[in-house]
Structure 1
């Protein structure tokens, strides 16, 4: 059965095709650091050594991108030690370790981030009745967010992860840029699909 066959890529070998997807459990501390509760959770999920890969729940790449309280942070170097404990645990249980990195954009609120949420355009998230009207990002701020994703990926590598998954769904910031509904920009980050995915590229 192919489900249990090894899968080899150029850089990583997966012992089977069974993957644990990222599921937010909101067990980080108030700064977003890894806690014993998080380590216990992933130990419980991986102890049977079934998964070829474990994708750790979304980590915010900068403070403005924090989606919810007790979300895990990968926003600065002080997070690396805790994340290293987590990647070591996952690998000890014979799984490849991947971490999902994200920015909530207008899907967060000022109670969580302490300021107005940001987005590609001043358009509320339609699926959230209590959503705030986001502040439109300027070009310099977009470049900073691009750098934040790159720096987060580097921290993931420093923390021993084998890869990153970039969160571009669920109405988060990258999805907001992708969608013509929430991206009404007229510069290089808006317009046709090739411009709307500039931030991804």
Structure 2
């Protein structure tokens, strides 16, 4: 196995006792915040498996809320994240789930306000690394450790080629691509992890494609 850095072995710089239950949880929460694009007014956080059993002792609760507040894993404000969220008027509810999941460290986060909602499922796979496995009902695989774009589009032939051609024109190399749809011919989600951050002018060009409904960027 190859490691990019020493932090892949000893874990990330973080607040809390556990890279899986604290740092990973914070990253899941922060990815939810990034994808939502703003601070929500409420959050329902469902915890499964090991998360549900140990979340208070390991700081999983404050870590997820800290992530939703856009705090990084090493931000000391994570310790007071729930109090800070309350001060901001955010309503938070934790739900301990009994259902079995594919991974023991699983969280389902629902956040929203009067303008819209977002729901995602994330797993903490160890060493502070995470994967997002579901977003608003779409199945996907997003690590959050590489620059990425999420493209919501109409499920039409040529959609993947149209987006890929724009990335190729600007010499953007695709490291991983995943496409998910709920129903043939309806809405679909393209998840593309790349080697370098993508400029806003490239995102704008993708957004102008007739089949594209929305583009969201995740910066490494």
Place the TM-score, normalised by the shorter chain, in its bin. Answer: under 0.3
Give the TM-score normalised by structure 1: 0.27
Higher relative strand content? 2
